[in-house]
């Protein structure tokens, strides 16, 4: 008998796979071994790969009935961000099931999808079912940091494991965004990630003349840096309507029955303002962004330092990086140089494709009222690694969510939890989609 998906999700949460970044954390090995055992029970032959001890990745291939067709990659991560137990209503690694939810760190990011996929495989094994296409499964490490021990390393060193993959599905898409129309009726919107903004994390370095803090200094590195950051923060980046963003605005606007004006920046902003809770999925992806996040300079209050540093979280829409960086250089001005400390290009799949249509059909099977739309993710996932192999990547980790449930606040947030019924819905949708 197949274990209930909610119990499996709770078990996965109980493995503390905290990733603190910079190679620090508990590691993914115990969770990976648990996953490998479940894959073995389903008749598969998983392999565990580690770049460093305890930083485990699990890979397996489900043979399809038509190996001549392109394979589907299902990519998930086993690591989670830290959680402070004192801030939570429950122990974040206890995997409690109560009030209709599975609670714990990783419940929606993304041990939920790990559980739904394992449940689908268990079902297939019990039924003797074989999918039409090969399915490649990747349960990876280190997504919550750089992917150095996970997806990016696998792509660089073990790309043969992804041979034949033409499409990939992963986190951040396929979940319900219940949204009220102006007449008060409810629309159930399901965004599927067809794009991601790129990452161009910058280190800014300002140099000047060191000296005594009590004396006039017209070449103060701190002042240069602060002035540059002010110009950068105050800059209004232009609206850029990529295919995913334009399609989202047009299709959601039509479904909600609100005016859509994409002819100007003001019109786009006004359109988003009419979208209610659905605005959160697009408000950060109509423009590039440059947000200062880290500052460091000096060591003593009465000493003007020679050097000052800042880090800027820069996110880049497809096709815009060259213009963005030229404008950044203009805004920084003389005496401040920039360099990359993280650089990954945007991801962009087709908005209208047979893959998108298949995902939409899988969602509509259990929810005929589903309004399935493409969208661009504001952040990033391991799709940035797998897209380097020429694989078309989508955000598709289906969940049914109730109205008022702030899904986006759950990931990395306090009291992270996922509805039990949402998990069961995800199993049905993924079963249909992955079956072929």
Catalytic choice (6, 16, 28, 79)? 79
Strands 307-316 and 198-207: antiparallel
DSSP line for 364-397: HTT-TT-EEEEEEESS--THHHHGGGT-EEEE--
Q: Which residues pair with 415 in a beta bridge?
A: none
Residue 362 tokens, joined = 């899988």
CA-wise closest residue to 245 among 255, 253, 236, 235: 253
Q: Cα-flanking dihedrals φ and ψ of residue 80, to 5°?
A: -135, 165
Alpha carbon distance 267, 135 (integer Å): 43
Helices then strands, each counted (H, E), the chain? 12, 21
Separation of alpha carbons 102 and 417, rounded Å = 5
- Which of these, 166, 172, 151, lies nearest to 71 by C-alpha position? 166
Return the ∠ at Cα 388 (arms to 384 and 389), rounded to 5°.
130
Q: Give the residue among 233, 275, 287 at the shortest CA–CA distance from 251.
A: 275
Listed in order, strand segments (DSSP E) in 78-218 are 97-98, 101-103, 135-140, 165-170, 177-180, 186-196, 198-207, 211-212
E strands, 131-259, in order: 135-140, 165-170, 177-180, 186-196, 198-207, 211-212
Residue 171 CA to residue 138 CA, distance in Å, equals: 12
CA distance 399 to 422: 5
Q: Which two three-digit tokens encode residue 231? A: 């110009």
Catalytic residue among 6, 96, 134, 143: 143
- Beta strands 47-50 and 371-377 are unpaired
- E strands along 214-320, which residues? 289-297, 303-304, 307-316
79 given a catalytic annotation:
yes
- Gap between the Cα atoms of 413 and 422, Å rounded: 19
Q: Which residues are catalytic?
A: 79, 143
């Amino acid at each position: 008998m197949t274990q209930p998906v909610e119990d499996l999700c709770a078990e996965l949460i109980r493995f503390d796979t905290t990733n603190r970044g910079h190679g620090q954390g508990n590691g993914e090995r115990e969770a990976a071994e648990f996953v490998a055992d479940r894959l073995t029970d389903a008749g598969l032959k998983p392999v565990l790969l580690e770049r460093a001890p305890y930083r485990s990745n699990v890979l397996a291939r489900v043979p399809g009935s038509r190996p001549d067709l392109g394979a589907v990659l299902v990519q998930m991560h086993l690591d989670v961000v830290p959680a402070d137990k004192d801030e939570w209503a429950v122990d974040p690694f206890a995997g409690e099931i109560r009030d209709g939810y599975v609670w714990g760190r990783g419940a929606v990011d993304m041990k939920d999808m790990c559980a739904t996929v394992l449940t689908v495989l268990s079902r297939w094994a019990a039924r003797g079912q074989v999918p039409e296409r090969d399915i490649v499964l990747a349960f990876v490490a280190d997504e919550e940091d750089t992917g150095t021990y996970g997806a990016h390393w696998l792509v660089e060193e073990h790309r043969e494991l992804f041979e034949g993959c033409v499409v990939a599905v992963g986190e951040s898409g396929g979940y319900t965004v219940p949204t009220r129309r102006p007449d008060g009726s409810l629309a159930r919107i399901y965004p599927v990630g067809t794009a991601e903004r790129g990452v161009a994390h910058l280190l800014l370095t300002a140099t000047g003349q060191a000296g005594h803090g009590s004396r006039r200094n017209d070449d103060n590195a701190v002042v240069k840096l602060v002035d540059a950051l002010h110009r950068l923060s105050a800059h209004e980046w232009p609206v850029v309507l990529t295919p995913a963003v334009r399609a989202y605005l047009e299709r959601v606007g039509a479904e909600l029955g609100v005016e859509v004006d994409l002819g100007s920046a003001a019109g786009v902003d006004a359109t988003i303002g009419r979208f209610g809770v659905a605005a959160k999925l697009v408000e950060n992806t109509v423009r590039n962004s440059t947000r200062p996040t880290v500052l460091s300079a000096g060591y003593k209050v009465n000493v003007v330092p020679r050097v000052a540093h800042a880090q800027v979280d820069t996110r880049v829409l497809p096709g815009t990086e060259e213009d963005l960086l030229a404008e950044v250089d203009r805004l920084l001005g003389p005496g401040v140089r920039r360099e990359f400390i993280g650089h990954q290009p945007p991801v962009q799949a087709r908005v209208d494709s047979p893959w998108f249509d298949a995902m939409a059909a899988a969602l509509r099977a259990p929810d005929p009222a589903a309004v399935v739309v493409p969208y661009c993710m504001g952040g990033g996932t391991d799709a940035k690694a797998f897209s380097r192999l020429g694989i078309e990547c989508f955000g598709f980790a289906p969940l049914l969510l109730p109205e008022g449930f702030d899904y986006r606040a759950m990931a990395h947030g306090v009291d992270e939890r996922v509805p039990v019924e949402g998990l069961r819905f995800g199993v049905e949708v993924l079963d249909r989609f992955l079956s072929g």
